[in-house]
A and B are shown apart, each in its own frame.
Chain A
Amino acid sequence: MKLAFRLLSVVAVLIAAASVTFFAQLMVPGDRATTILNLQNGREQEWTASELGPVNEKFGFDNPLVVQYLHYVGGLFRGDLGTSYTQYQSVNSVIGAQIVPSLVLTASALVVAWALAIGVTLLTVKRGRFVTGLGSGWETFAASLPTYWVGVVLLVVLAVKVPIFPVIGGSGAWGTVLPVLTLAIPLAGFLGQVTRDEFDKVLDQPFVTTARTRGMGDTAVRLRHGLRHAVLPGITLSGWALGALVSGAVIAENIYGRPGIGQVLVTAVNTRDVPTVSGIVLVVAGVYVVANVLVDISYAVVDPRLRSHSRLATA
């Protein structure tokens, strides 16, 4: 029941996103066929009906709006995102080639951010004024860094001045390190702040005192009792973070000249290739939705109290 409702809401969100992008295409000023011909020929001019005819037919612009809409949404159900204005190929193949490196980048960034956040909080929560201050200071600093700035600084320091990493990364493992750090450092600061807050509260809880009265050492108390409680709010935020990472990836990919959906998006926006932009928006929305379902599942894995209420959590 709950699961069915959840899946329905996922579909509803995606259809809503698709509808918004579809109507956004109509809002772009000017006749679409004219825009396409202008784009392909690289100049601004009026086109004759005989020149516009084939384009209108190819893209289905001469059909009634309802038919166009149903055709578009119907295509989405078959996994067809439409046809690019500029490249004369399907948006699927434009995005498809680039989506994998982007997903690798964002997923790695999330993992690295969590590792950094947990490592720092475990070591610095409630460790006396100096160490604690150091930890929370680092988090505030990291969380306030803009992605583009981190990217440029890392590039200059670790690729140009001290050439450990390649300047133009490509999608290889070595070239992925700097883009991942660029995305992970600000996020780690943010997740760290949330986790530290909760960790701090958890370590004052009576069950932690109980564990200490059993003779448990400080490190064991943190790992076995504190950590699991402390990561819960951070997990909730991870769904949002993953969405934010996809947009951050656009910046990182551009700085490091890394193939990915970000490059495609920038090009498409510059050339006003609306179907490609829409396709990317939809894919990002999809990633967002899937990420949030994953968050729900992992939340229930960590906190069994939620399992009785959600059948999603049988994982």
Chain B
Amino acid sequence: MSIVDDRNDTDGAVAVTAATAATAAPAEPGAAGAAPPPVPLLHVEGLRVSFAGTEVVKGISFTAYAGRCLAIVGESGSGKSVTARTVVGLTGAGSEVSVDRLELGDRDLSGLGERQWRRIRGKEVGFVLQDALVSLDQLRKVGHEVAEPLAVHGVGDRRARAAKAIELLESVGVPEPEVRAAQRPYELSGGLRQRALIASAIALDPPLVIADEPTTALDVTVGAQVLDLLAASKSRGTSIILISHDLAVVARLADDVAVMKGGEIVEHGPVEDILRNPQHAYTKALLDAVPSEHTRGTHLVRPADGEEKTVRSRRPVDRGRPLIEARHLVKAFRGPDGKDREVVRDVSFEVFSGETLGIVGESGSGKTTTARIALALTPPTSGEVLLRGEPWSALGLRQRRPARSRIGVVYQDPLSSFDPRWSVDRILADALSRGPRPPANATEARRRSLELLEQVGLGHGHLTSAPLRLSGGQRQRVAIARALAPEPELIVCDEPVSALDVSVQAQVLDLLTDLQDELGVTYLFISHDLGVIHHMCDRILVMKDGEVVESGGADEVFDRPRHPYTQQLLTALPRLEVAR
């Protein structure tokens, strides 16, 4: 399966990177003269779902066509996953479903009993869930999992099913399928697992496949391969419903898009129209919120009254002596076989005051370990980190303690870095007391905590909240306030927005850039998301297998990648390029 790189698209307005298979489908229903009109497969009209009296899907209608992909786009809580599950009669316990019309081909699905639904599931509709690590039974062999739809629907005997499982694994591009079939899911890499999950969904060659966030848990290059796999299935005539929050992924696979918000479809149409010429304010906001090279230097969230996005007012970067300097860092861990494995190999970098240095890489590239060494949480095996030219990683624990507050940190999941029994004011007071100006008394601590909260866009009302009761975005704001409290010179951000919905991500990224513009904070910004990195960072390190394979200015690396790995990453990146 080849990946077509059409980043040089001359159209300029929208460039949709897609697999060859995907581009083969007609652009619009019935639009192209030569192509036959698409055949409708799934008809949904007036679908309503409620849980305990609360309506979460409010009368939506859509149609999926054979050989085309319909993407249902929305953020968490929009009702998109509930919709997907309702289509296979698995809405869940305590739900009430009503629908005017629910037809698959010429079959009426409304009001089916459980027994009849079971004949549809797996056979007429295949379902691919998000993360294969938890979506495949870890205690069973991959081959058994893949062949389970065959067993459930009584197709073939044990021997025939085992053979078919191997055939299926081969068809989704799993190398050594005989070996893999005998292994268990946890023994496979994320990409292979996801392929196995897809193999299982298409085991009975169902005319409709529903994929619920199929690439969210995957690295960029692996995610691209999984999308290609779905595209290949589509080109063979399968209808695909793709559930996603990621517009870039949608752009790569979908033909039609339905944008969901609060249980309603707010906009619906061919993918090009939606991406190029969005009508609904929510769709526009969603598109705006996607960070990329085009959003560099601007805010992601458009002001309520403004037509144009506001531009950042950067402070100048002091290119004199670096704030932090890493020299030839090496970190080795002892593996289970007793051999040392180097997870960081000869990594050197400098971060200057007021700038943002990005470290990008896939899982296992060593980027988080590098960050931990910079934070002096992990000692390097060799090499050294200097802070303002003074020893940092080489200091003893006791000597380092007074200087600890000079580097702050924001993690991906703030909840696990908060004591769940502490309220926000206690978290902040504790952080303030570790800074160079510890508050003299409780009143001052409270006043300064409130200032911090206001700085990150929260207010008085959040002071006494428990982190558990805050939303994901609010929690990350508290985490940022905590990082700011001891007035650090550098903040290490380790995947700070990876767990957030795209519009919340946009708000948090805007907050980080605003803080930099106001306070002149320096960031060491770690992410697997190339769009986020390009949006945020001045300079970039690309890491792979513990080594820095490429480094330079953000535009330089993104526009003229020299290392084959960077080129591969950028090719695989599902991107959404909307001219502004």
Q: B-contacting residues of A (Cβ < 8 Å)?
A: 126, 205-207, 209-217, 220, 225, 228-229, 302-305
Contact = CB atoms under 8 A, between A and B. Distances in A.
Contact of A212 (B90, B131, B138, B201): B90
Interface string B289-316: 0000000000000000000000000000
Contacts of B197: 210
Interface in B130-188: 130-131, 134-140, 148-149, 152-153, 184, 186
Interface stretch (B113-121, B248-256, B373-381): B113-121
Contact of B127 (A205, A210, A220, A302): A210
Nearest to B149: A214
Contact of A205 (B114, B123, B134): B134
A212 B184 contact: no
16 contacts: A126-B93, A206-B134, A206-B135, A207-B134, A213-B90, A213-B122, A213-B127, A214-B121, A214-B122, A214-B148, A214-B149, A215-B118, A215-B149, A215-B153, A216-B122, A217-B118
A228 B121 contact: no
A264 B184 CA distance: 50
A64 to B, nearest CB: 46
A304 B144 CA distance: 15
Contacts of A214: 121-122, 127, 148-149, 152, 200
A210 B138 contact: no
B135 A216 contact: no
Nearest to A226: B137
B152 A220 contact: yes
Contacts of B152: 214-216, 220
B129 interface: yes
A303 B139 contact: yes
B88 interface: yes
Contacts of A210: 127, 129, 135-136, 197, 200
User: What 9 pairs across the A-B complex have the smallest Cβ distances?
Assistant: A213-B127, A214-B122, A215-B122, A215-B121, A214-B149, A206-B135, A215-B118, A207-B137, A206-B134
A304 B139 contact: yes
B92 to A, nearest CB: 9
Contacts of A126: 93
Interface residues of B, number: 34
B167 to A, nearest CB: 18
A258 B409 CA distance: 67
Contact of B139 (A212, A215, A217, A229): A229
B139 A211 contact: no
Nearest to B134: A206
Contacts of B90: 209, 212-213
Contact of B148 (A209, A211, A304): A211
Given A220-B152, A305-B184, A215 B120 contact: yes
A302 B184 CA distance: 13
Contacts of B126: 213
Contacts of B201: 213
A228 B139 contact: yes
Interface of B: 85, 88, 90, 93, 114, 117-123, 125-127, 129-131, 134-140, 148-149, 152-153, 184, 186, 197, 200-201
A305 B186 contact: yes
Given A215-B149, A216-B152, 6 more contacts: A206-B134, A206-B135, A207-B134, A213-B126, A215-B121, A225-B137
Contacts of A206: 129-131, 134-135
B250 to A, nearest CB: 22
A215 B126 CA distance: 10
A215 B88 CA distance: 9
B218 to A, nearest CB: 15
Contacts of B140: 225
A98 B184 CA distance: 46
B139 A302 contact: yes
A302 B138 CA distance: 11
Nearest to B135: A206
B261 to A, nearest CB: 24
Contacts of B118: 215-217
A298 to B, nearest CB: 14
A207 B134 CA distance: 6
Contacts of A228: 139
Q: Which of B120, B130, B137, B197: most chain A Cβ within 10 A?
A: B137
Contacts of A229: 137, 139
A228 B120 CA distance: 27
Contacts of A209: 85, 90, 129, 135
A207 B153 CA distance: 18
B274 to A, nearest CB: 28
A123 B476 CA distance: 43
Contacts of B129: 206, 209-210, 213
Nearest to B137: A207
A81 to B, nearest CB: 41
A126 B94 CA distance: 12
Contact of B138 (A207, A215, A217): A207
A209 to B, nearest CB: 7
Contacts of B134: 205-207
Contacts of B149: 214-215
A210 to B, nearest CB: 5
A205 B134 CA distance: 7
Q: Which of A215, A220, A305: most chain B Cβ within 10 A?
A: A215
Contacts of B137: 207, 211, 225, 229
Contacts of A207: 134-138
Nearest to A220: B152
Nearest to B144: A224
Contacts of A212: 90, 121
Nearest to A225: B137
B369 to A, nearest CB: 23
A233 to B, nearest CB: 14
Contacts of A225: 137, 140
B339 to A, nearest CB: 15
A209 B82 CA distance: 13
Nearest to A213: B127
Q: Which of B131, B135, B153: most chain A Cβ within 10 A?
A: B135
A302 B140 CA distance: 10
A220 B125 CA distance: 20
A207 B139 CA distance: 11
Nearest to A302: B139
A213 B148 CA distance: 11
A215 B89 CA distance: 10
A214 B126 CA distance: 7
Nearest to A232: B139
Contacts of B200: 210, 214
A209 B135 CA distance: 8
A216 B148 contact: yes
Nearest to A216: B152
A140 B183 CA distance: 39
Contacts of B114: 217
Nearest to B141: A304
A213 B88 contact: yes
B335 to A, nearest CB: 13
A304 B187 CA distance: 11
A302 B125 CA distance: 32
Contacts of B138: 207, 305
Nearest to A229: B139
Contacts of B131: 206
Contacts of A211: 137, 148
B394 to A, nearest CB: 36
B289 to A, nearest CB: 27
Contacts of B125: 213
Contacts of B85: 209
Nearest to A202: B137
A97 B120 CA distance: 63
Nearest to B93: A126
A210 B197 CA distance: 9
A225 B149 CA distance: 14
